[in-house]
Amino acid sequence: MRMDPRQLIPLPRRPIQESMKRLSFLFFLATLSSHAQMHRVARPDSVTRAVGVYEWTGDLAKPTAARLIPITLFLSGHFEDAAIYLSTPVPLAIQTGTAYELQTAGVRKSFLDISYARNLRSAVVEGATTYDDGWFGYGKYRPLPKPKPSTQSAENGRPEFASRVSLDDDVKDKKDRKSDDPDPERPTLQRPNPNTTAGKQKAPKETSGVSQAPPDPDTDPDRPSLKRHASAPDASNSTEGVTAAKGPILADPDRPGLHRGRPTGATAGELLPQLSGLPPDLHQMVAVSDAVDRPEHDFTHHFLADADRVAIIAKMQAMAKAVLANPALAAQTANPTATPDGKALPEPAPAPAAPKATAALKTTASRPGVRKRRTSVPTTPAAGTTPDLLDGQLSAYDLSYNSTPTYIFTAHTAGAGAAAMYVTIVAQPDLDGGLQPVMRSFTDGAHLDRVPRLRFVDVVDAEASNRASLLFELRAAHSRQFALYRILAGRADQTFLTGSTQ
């Protein structure tokens, strides 16, 4: 059956065109919204954070001698050696007026205001160095501000005012006052007087580009800076403008100069008790300086019961004794002690078998007609037991939010030379309820030049990321270094290592 072409009804084209227009309009709106979102991306937080180690002897508030060792400077997303970064004339981390927070596991305890810095050279005394080599900062101890007294009452716990006025006194005062006198405590509205306020209007500030001073490079927002004490002079806060630069060069307060005799003043470097060498009563604490006031984060791991701490200590001691019995275990971790060669001590040769008791001949006094008699004197065999651990210290931390605890155990044995052995264990709980070693270090007094001793200082958030790293001192026989370790995914990775101070 053939159909007449005239019977075919043409499709409407106008609705299709309107649909295409609507789709194009929606696409244009989506493009505008995406373009607007691209311009709303916030600038990432610029972190300038310095970390150092504060060493002192005596009392912390009034030390007999002290110094600050600059360690790291986190800048533009990476670490710099704080002892050499911008060290002309003085490193940025220990410039005069820089304020440091003395912390313990991320909690601030006090402050240290840098007064001056010194670049020392090591001196050899009877064949042994004093570990005084490089830049050191010296400053004044400043305690935390005292908390404001609470206004809450000890009886009911409700806030109270310092002074009270009874209701009867208020009523008597109102009765004595005349009814025509206005109440001085009653709020009133006043209209401004145009005659008095007209002359007090401030003149508009000039915005012409000719009258303004050229931009100061110290006010560049991208220039790294650390927190400075309020009493310290800061060139970036100067408001003198261009006319101040036209003065004589000798009048510049920041111009370096030579002084004869003892310097005076905080900026010139007042005389402070300087620490030298490594005395027996040396104390260490982490010092942090940041350009931004950040909330503190306590990384201490709190045990639920004392029995849990005792159980962890027993397990860590067993792991330490295993390393003492077989030092080759210190090389089985992913990243052992950070040394230039990265090698552990060779496995010791098996101890020779204990000799049997031998009899020493002893001749007795002979008499005529009496035979000589031999008496045996037994010797004590060598003991093959593991030496006892001394000064065992356990530290527990939560290095980040919702992380498993990290345990650090350090100990040593008695003796000198090869008999003095040092062991450091870093472990974390495993799925079976035990402890998995993350980092094991072993050395002795005879191999400190090749494998230094790992001395734990503290944990520190060196990147302002709310994640702490382990700060160790690598002390050799005649030099030392400082290193940061990041514990992540069951392994220890070294993120920073300072130069060697001799």
Query: pLDDT tens digit string along 225-250?
Result: 676 655 544 444 444 443 444 445 55
> Cβ distance 299 to 469 under 8 Å?
no
**Rg of the Cα trace of the chain?**
37
The region of weakest confidence among 37-51, 71-85, 107-121, 254-268 is 254-268
Nearest Cα neighbor of 377 from 352, 364, 359, 390 is 359
478: exposed, middle or buried (Cβ count in 10 Å: 0-12, 13-18, 19+): middle
Could you write out the DSSP letters of every residue in 463-481?
Answer: TSSS--EEEEEEE-SS-EE
Burial 251-285 (b: 16+ CB within 10 A, else e): eeeeeeeeeeeeeeebbebeeeeebeeeeeeeebb
CA distance 442 to 333: 12
pLDDT mean over 351-374: 41
Sequence-distant contacts of 379-384: CB under 8 A, at least 24 apart: 379/355, 381/354, 381/355, 381/357, 382/351, 382/354, 382/355, 384/351, 384/354
Q: Which band of pLDDT confidence, cut at 50, 70 and 90, is reported for residue 484?
A: very high
Q: What is the pLDDT of residue 377?
A: 36
Phi-psi region of 13 (alpha: psi -120 to 50; beta: other; left: phi over 0): alpha
First to last CA, the chain: 108
pLDDT at residue 261, rounded to an integer: 41
Q: Name the DSSP class of 330.
A: G
Q: Is 49 helix (H, G, I), strand (E, B) or coil?
A: strand
Q: Which residues of 330-354 are buried (b: 16+ CB within 10 A; e: fewer)?
A: bbebeebbbbeeeebbeeeeeeeee
Q: Which of 304-318, 341-355, 388-402, 407-421 has the lowest mean pLDDT?
A: 341-355
Cβ 70 vs Cβ 82: under 8 Å: yes
What is the per-residue pLDDT across 122-180, written as a single tens digit (0 to 9) for each? 665 554 556 888 899 999 999 998 877 766 655 555 655 555 545 455 545 555 555 55
Between 257 and 190, the higher pLDDT residue: 190
- 270: which residues sit within 8 A by CB, 6+ positions away? 115, 116, 263, 264
Q: Which of 12-26, 303-317, 410-424 has the lowest mean pLDDT?
A: 12-26
Tell me the HSE value of 447 on the side-chain side, using a 13 A CA sphere. 18
- In the structure encoding, which two tokens stand for residue 326, read together? 């077989």
d(CA 217, CA 220): 5
What is the reported pLDDT for 187?
Answer: 64
Q: What is the pLDDT of residue 142?
A: 93
Query: Averaging pLDDT over each range in 141-155, 231-245, 263-277, 310-324, which range is the top one?
Result: 310-324
* pLDDT computed for residue 146 by the predictor: 84
Q: Are 337 and 344 in contact (CB under 8 A)?
A: yes
DSSP-derived 3-state class of residue 400: coil
| Mean local confidence (pLDDT), 362-385 | 41
Check if the beta carbon of residue 118 is closer than 8 Å to that of residue 136: yes
Q: What is the pLDDT of residues 188-199, one digit of tens each?
A: 666 666 565 444
Res. 80: pLDDT tops 90? yes
User: Which range (260-274, 309-323, 442-456) has the least confidence?
Assistant: 260-274
Distance of CA 36 to the CA centre of its chain: 40
> What pLDDT, on the 0 to 100 scale, is given for residue 387?
86
For residues 273-297, give the mean pLDDT: 91
Kindly state the tokens that stand for 296.
């503190």
Q: Residue 332: its pLDDT value, please?
A: 66
Partnered with residue 475 across adjacent β-strands are 453, 480
**Structure confidence at residue 115 (pLDDT):** 94
Q: Comparing 353 with 492, which gets the higher pLDDT? A: 492
Identify the burial level of 40 via C-beta atoms within 10 angstroms of its C-beta, where 0-12 means exposed, 13-18 middle and 19 or more buried.
Answer: exposed
3-class secondary structure for 6-21? HHCCCCCCHHHHHHHH
Report which of residues 26 and 217 the model is more confident about: 26
Is pLDDT at 86 greater than 60 in this prediction? Answer: yes
Return the closest-CA partner of residue 285 out of 56, 48, 49: 56
pLDDT grade for 257, boundaries at 50, 70 and 90: very low
The CA-atom distances, in angstroms, between 95 and each of 46, 105, 118, 142, 236 are 20, 25, 10, 17, 14
Q: Which tokens is 95 given?
A: 């410039």
| Residue 322 or 161, more confident | 322
pLDDT confidence band for 299 (50 / 70 / 90): very high
Average pLDDT, integer, range 79-90: 91
- Give CB contacts under 8 A, 24+ apart, made by 260-268: 263/116, 266/96, 266/97, 266/115, 266/116, 266/140, 266/231, 266/232, 267/96, 267/97, 267/115, 267/116, 267/232, 267/233, 268/116
For the ranges 35-44, 318-327, 462-471, the lowest mean pLDDT is seen at: 35-44
pLDDT mean across residues, the chain: 73
